[in-house]
A and B are shown apart, each in its own frame.
Chain A
Amino acid sequence: MIRTLLSGDYPRSRALSVLLLAILAGLALAPFVFPGTRSLDVAAKVCVFILLVASYDLLLGYTGIVSFAHTMFFGIGAYGVAIAVSRLGPSWGSLVLGSLAALACSALLALLIGVLSLRVKTIFFAMITLAVASFFAILASQLSGFTGGEDGLTYKLPELLLPGTKLLQAPLAGVEINGKIVSYYLVFFAAAALFLALLRVVNSPFGRVLQAIRENDFRAEAIGYRSVFYRSAANCVAALAASAAGILYAIWLRYAGPDTTLSLDIMMDVLLMVVIGGMGTMYGAVVGATLFVIAQNYLQDLMKLASDAAAGIPFVPALLHPDRWLLWLGILFILSVYRFPAGIVGKLRSK
């Protein structure tokens, strides 16, 4: 059972297994173990970003493609739901319609970008995707009649998913079971299922070919695998998964805007999560995303304490200012690219 679920790709390290189980348990029981709006928000964000980062890892870690357009697909997913639901009303039909439209749009766009520019060098692809993604972000904020511009879109969802809906009369284990809990579990189970699907993809023969292309595309081509075809396919699969993550995020937030889904800052965050967690290991996405989102939300509190403690010393408080948490993660990122390219997961496995 577990073997089938994990596609035979075990964590292969006791410490990593414990860590993954702890994350899984924490996320599965989040509404009960960490009650409160903020912590539930963090848990849902972790779920969404695990999926997003895992799909990016399929590109970066497994295929060796650097794309900066990944948040574009994330945004397409979120905006697909947002536009459909706010235009057609909060029904399940419009939710599904928006999701399907977003997935189709992502797949098409990914195919187009892939076929046009994956033939050439890594750097070229990275530059082109960066340009296209920033164009897309500007487009979303310019077409305000359609996307809500800078303000984004706020919308209602089917009644089952709204926080006002009570499902049980009495609270369960001290927690009121309302629509928010339902939508959390929708996000959680969908993200888990898609993560396992991605794990299946990278451990399939197709995934092997991708890794062969990453290692030596010339040789892979010589054995008879058309690397353009495989790269484009990987690009499409990753785009679809990223859109799915966007759809889940839109369902959770009931809001879609340029800053939460499309901005280049999120792309940077995803890059940091993949590399710190461990490139080329799906479990790295889990570890990286969890650490990063928690740091994003709680490290600042810690840094504020440290900054206050260092108040007398010149310059140090500025370095420890709560808003500077990204500086430290950036340094950690550079060190991990040099020192341990397989990230935290690689470090745990090598022990």
Chain B
Amino acid sequence: MSQAKDALPRASLDKIPLVLIPLIAVAALPLIPSLPTWVTLTIAGLAMGMMIFIMASGLTLVFGLMDVMNFAHGAFITIGAFVATSVLLPLAAWTEADKLWLNLAALLSAILAAMVVAGVLGLAFERVIIKPVYGQHLKQILITMGGLIVAEQSIHVIWGPDIIGLPKPAALRGSFIFGDIAIEKYRVLAVIVGLAVFAAMFGVLNRTRIGLLIRAGVEDSEMVEALGYRIRRIFIGVFVAGSALAGLGGVMWALYQETVSSAMGMQVMILIFIVIIIGGLGSVGGCFIGSLLVGLMANYVGFLAPKIALGSNILLMVLILLWRPQGLYPVAKR
């Protein structure tokens, strides 16, 4: 009894940012002419947000833990997508088959291959490129940018410079129709995968010992080291996991766009940066909310005024920074 009393009180969750998501959704309702359109757009926005979250979560965690901002994160997204083309295009017999389980098997093997390749490359990248420049922000930005150039060019060498078409597996094309509401099947899958990643990440971070160490490392890495844990090893693990997630996100994004080009990573990176700035550098929860906000905003504005879709996200970022200069969930030490 007394032990429970003495324990530190649980940090209360800041709920205001959570309200923003329904707020934006409700605010968009009167602007959009019909309810079914609104539902379709909302689901599309949530799906897009989930995909962005998959790609952004690793980056923000790496920054929170080790103060390293990897500008070449987009390269892992692109590589994941290209690995998917190498797996899925030869498996056309599986993806074109009329059986759901064959389609999913092909997709699953593409995802696994992409995650393994991106993870291994992430490990190599951390060892070769980032390790020598810990703590030097300027050099980090420069060196990861250089890594991005080299990675993009290497993709040209391996897969050629052309844009590659990547059709969705047969069972994931088309939409579910409920009355007037049409929901693309692939978006449902994206929401499921995104939620699974979020749940897994949340579980690992909050329920396991390694998650405890990661969270402690984000708060104060020196203290964790002083207690005898090798924060570098944890960090490498997080970096590899983040790269593998970027690979997974690359596969999802490539199938969503149905084309793969070497510039796609950089294009998505802009959204990812906006998301992690909105969420607060280093915060996974903030990253999740930021992703959903950006996804919803992009879809609503893309429907209402397509020309300013990206501008709306920049505006969102500026507004949030004016309200909370450190992002939605500021990480304590910064």
Partners in one complex: yes
Interface majority SS on B: helix, strand, loop or mixed?
A: helix
17 A–B contacts from the bound complex (CB under 8 Å): A60-B138, A64-B138, A66-B138, A66-B142, A123-B137, A126-B69, A126-B71, A126-B141, A127-B273, A131-B270, A134-B270, A318-B157, A327-B153, A330-B150, A333-B142, A333-B149, A334-B143
Which of the candidate stretches A18-26, A135-143, A193-201, A294-302 sits at the interface with the other chain? Answer: A135-143
A264 at the interface (CB under 8 A from B): yes
Q: Check B146–A337 contact: CB distance below 8 A.
A: yes
Q: Which of B154, B276, B307, B334 contacts A327 (CB 8 A)?
A: B154
Q: Which of A268-294 contact B (CB under 8 A)?
A: 268, 271-272, 275
B104 to chain A, nearest CB (A): 34
Q: With A123-B69, A127-B69, A264-B266 as known contacts, state yes or no: A319 contacts B149, CB within 8 Å.
A: no
Q: Check A324–B141 contact: CB distance below 8 A.
A: no
Which of the candidate stretches B9-17, B204-212, B244-252, B310-318 sits at the interface with the other chain? Answer: B310-318
In the docked arrangement, what's the CA distance between A112 and B273, Å?
20
- Binary CB contact string for chain B from 262 to 287 against chain A (1 if under 8 A, 0 otherwise): 00001001100110110001000000
In the docked arrangement, what's the CA distance between A326 and B129, Å?
18
Q: Which of A142, A143, A268, A318 contacts B145 (CB 8 A)?
A: A268
B161 at the interface (CB under 8 A from A): yes
Q: Count of chain A residues with Cβ under 8 Å from any Cβ of B?
A: 41
In the docked arrangement, what's the CA distance between A337 and B325, Å?
32
Q: Check A327–B150 contact: CB distance below 8 A.
A: yes
A117 to chain B, nearest CB (A): 8
Question: Which chain B residue lies CB-closest to A328?
Answer: B153
Please name all residues of chain A whose beta carbon is closer than 8 Å to the beta carbon of B139 when the two chains form the complex.
Answer: 337, 341
A38 at the interface (CB under 8 A from B): no
B321 to chain A, nearest CB (A): 8
Q: Check A268–B277 contact: CB distance below 8 A.
A: no
Q: With A66-B142, A132-B314, A334-B143 as known contacts, state yes or no: A127 contacts B277, CB within 8 Å.
A: yes
Please name all residues of chain B whose beta carbon is closer than 8 Å to the beta carbon of A268 when the two chains form the complex.
Answer: 145, 149
- Binary CB contact string for chain B from 43 to 71 against chain A (1 if under 8 A, 0 otherwise): 00000000000000000000100000101
Q: Which of A66, A327, A331, A338 contacts B132 (CB 8 A)?
A: A338
Please name all residues of chain A whose beta carbon is closer than 8 Å to the beta carbon of B325 when the two chains form the complex.
Answer: 120
In the docked arrangement, what's the CA distance between A194 and B71, Å?
32
Q: Which of B141, B147, B161, B277 contacts A128 (CB 8 A)?
A: B277
Q: Which of B138, B281, B311 contacts A139 (CB 8 A)?
A: B311
A120 to chain B, nearest CB (A): 8
Q: Which of B153, B161, B270, B274 contacts A330 (CB 8 A)?
A: B153
Q: Count of chain B residues with Cβ under 8 Å from any Cβ of A?
A: 40
Please name all residues of chain B whose beta carbon is closer than 8 Å to the beta carbon of A330 when the two chains form the complex.
Answer: 146, 149-150, 153
In the docked arrangement, what's the CA distance between A122 and B153, Å?
27
Q: Check A124–B149 contact: CB distance below 8 A.
A: no
A40 to chain B, nearest CB (A): 29
Please name all residues of chain B whose beta carbon is closer than 8 Å to the beta carbon of A338 when the two chains form the complex.
Answer: 132-133, 143
In the docked arrangement, what's the CA distance between A106 and B334, Å?
31
A203 to chain B, nearest CB (A): 22
In the docked arrangement, what's the CA distance between A331 and B147, Å?
8
In the docked arrangement, what's the CA distance between A331 and B318, Å?
36
Q: With A131-B314, A323-B156, A338-B132 as known contacts, state yes or no: A123 contacts B150, CB within 8 Å.
A: no
A85 to chain B, nearest CB (A): 25
Please name all residues of chain B whose beta carbon is closer than 8 Å to the beta carbon of A120 when the two chains form the complex.
Answer: 325
Q: Check A130–B141 contact: CB distance below 8 A.
A: no
Q: Check A124–B281 contact: CB distance below 8 A.
A: yes
Please name all residues of chain B whose beta carbon is closer than 8 Å to the beta carbon of A124 when the two chains form the complex.
Answer: 277, 281
Q: Check A334–B150 contact: CB distance below 8 A.
A: yes
Q: With A135-B311, A337-B139 as known contacts, state yes or no: A326 contacts B274, CB within 8 Å.
A: no
Question: Which chain A residue lies CB-closest to B140?
Answer: A123
Interface majority SS on A: helix, strand, loop or mixed?
A: helix
In the docked arrangement, what's the CA distance between A143 and B307, Å?
8
B141 to chain A, nearest CB (A): 5
Q: Check A331–B137 contact: CB distance below 8 A.
A: no
In the docked arrangement, what's the CA distance between A319 and B140, Å?
26
Q: Check B146–A131 contact: CB distance below 8 A.
A: no
A121 at the interface (CB under 8 A from B): yes
Q: Check A131–B274 contact: CB distance below 8 A.
A: yes
In the docked arrangement, what's the CA distance between A324 and B156, Å?
8
Q: Check A123–B141 contact: CB distance below 8 A.
A: yes
Please name all residues of chain A whose beta carbon is closer than 8 Å to the beta carbon of B143 when the two chains form the complex.
Answer: 334, 337-338
Q: Check A135–B314 contact: CB distance below 8 A.
A: yes
In the docked arrangement, what's the CA distance between A127 and B281, Å?
11
Q: Check B310–A326 contact: CB distance below 8 A.
A: no
A175 to chain B, nearest CB (A): 38
B62 to chain A, nearest CB (A): 12
Q: With A123-B137, A130-B270 as known contacts, state yes or no: A135 contacts B149, CB within 8 Å.
A: no
B309 to chain A, nearest CB (A): 9
